[in-house]
Structure 1
Amino acid sequence: MASQLRIYVPPHPLIRHWLTIAREQHTPVPLFRTAMQEMGKWLTYEAVRELLPVQAVNVETPLATAAGQVIDQEIPIAFVPILRAGLAMLEGCQSVLPAAHVFHLGLVRNEETLQASCYLDRLPHQFDPQMLILIVEPMMATGGSIMTTLQLLSDRGADLGKIRIINALCAPPALQLINQKFPTVQIYSACIDEVVNEKGWIVPGLGDAGDRSFGT
């Protein structure tokens, strides 16, 4: 039986709130950037809820010994923000996992062919197969950038079953491509919009997340 792509749209009121703020065309740059950071934080929280390995420990409180759990530091964790827009969400993501590695990947989309090309690659030559990887990609419309990223990760030894995508908005064309080739990857998104127009833009969407984050 074929695997089925798993995409989660958490019903968290703060995620819904900040997505609405980001959609509004008159939201000023600083507030838009805050909205992206907040979505990054809460979506990362949801994505690692059942992902992070823990180990049992005993600690000494001021009164007695108490049993507890801490994150297993032996398992490496990394963020892969897709530039530019991924940087807008990264700070919020890092607030949840401040010790995680960060491997930057810069992709640019040809507006005529809608194909992505790489201009910056700071990924490891070979990934530790135990590494938990969270790709930070705010917008997934036609799927060009995310498919390029997933193929690079796969070629360099990443375990696709340990990859999560942190995403503000996605659309069916991208989801269909991921499901066809990388169905074990899990996606945590604030919303799925149903339309991608002839220019490759998500509708109603929120515009260009990179431009709106950096005021360009």
Structure 2
Amino acid sequence: MTQKFLVYVPPHPLIKHWLAVARDVSTPWVLFRSAITELGRWLTYEAAREWLPTQEIVVKSPLADCVGTMIDAEVPVAVVPILRAGLGLLDGAQTLLPLAKVYHLGLVRNEETLQASCYLNKLPEKFAPETRVLITDPMLATGGSIMTAMEELTQRGVDPALTRIVCVVAAPPALQKLAAAYPGLTVYAATIDEIVNDQGYIVPGLGDAGDRIFGT
């Protein structure tokens, strides 16, 4: 079976609402951070469909035994926030994935070359083959950071088909690079904007998500 690169933009009214709040330049940074947290929560909810491993068990209700479905806690789940802006989505994701281990990956973009370099790598040397990995990064613009992150993860045994990327805004340059390199990957975004300017920013986008999340 041929694996396909998939991009989902869930038509959920709460996702649309918090996206509008995040886009607004007049939104104060504290409310912006709350909006990103909520987007992390709802996009992770959508990403978890048919992704989280489950198992059937027998549950004793007050009246009779019945079959129930539970999350299989034996299958490892990991969240990888791309620092620093990915931390904004992490809080919302963790409310739905409380048992997931968190591995931080710090990447910084050279504003002249638009290439990403790593300044912090807390990934394990090897992931178990069945590990589900959720990457959080608000902006997929030129693709430099997310491609670096995927390279680091796949070198450590992560299966792109078991990987989900949660972002707020995605743009064609990043999506095209991901599709060419990782056809089994799935991306969940609040929206897709078509323009990336000469400075590597998505238009209309969110501005500098990291600065707006942390008020710097």
**TM-score of the superposition, structure 2-length normalised?**
0.97
Aligned positions of 1:5-24 closer than 5 A: 5-24=5-24
CA-atom RMSD, angstroms?
A: 1.2
Match for 1:44: what amino acid? T
SS in 2 for 1:56: strand
CA shift, 1:30, in A, is: 1.3
Determine whether 1:202 maps to 2:199: no
Contact in 1 for aligned 2:8/2:188 (Cα 8 Å): yes
Structure 2 residue aligned with 1:29: 29
Matched, 1:154 2:154: yes
Residue matched to 1:138: 138
Q: Which residue of 2 aligns with 1:119?
A: 119
* Aligned residues between the structures: 216
User: What's the offset of the Cα at 1:2?
Assistant: 7.1
Is the contact between residue 124 and residue 156 of structure 2 (CA under 8 Å) also seen in structure 1? yes
Deviation string for 1:130-182 (max 9, x for gaps)? 10000001101000000000001111111111110001001000011111111
Give structure 2 stretches of 5+ with no counterpart: none
What is the CA distance between 1:62 and its match in structure 2? 3.1
SS in 1 for 2:50: coil
> Partner of 1:192 in structure 2?
192
Q: How does 1:59-208 map to 2 (within 5 A)?
A: 59-208=59-208
Aligned amino acid, residue 11 of structure 1: P
Superposition deviation, residue 57 in structure 1:
1.3
Structure 2 residue identity aligned to 1:155: Q
Distance 1:188 1:160 in 2: 14
Distance in 2 between residues matched to 1:24 and 1:149, nearest whole Å: 29
Q: Which amino acid aligns with 2:51?
A: L
Displacement, 1:3?
4.9
The whole-number CA distance in structure 2 between the counterparts of 1:22 and 1:44 is 17
Letter in 1 for 2:204: P
Q: In 2, Cα distance between the equivalents of 1:32 and 1:183?
A: 33
Residue deviations 1:49-108 (CA, integer Å, cap 9, x gap): 111121111222333323211101111000000000000010000011111010000000
Q: Distance in 2 between matches of 1:173 and 1:2?
A: 23
Secondary structure of the structure 2 residue equivalent to 1:184: coil
The one-letter code sitting in structure 2 at the alignment partner of 1:81 is P
| Same amino acid, percent of matched pairs | 58
Q: TM-score, normalised by structure 1?
A: 0.97
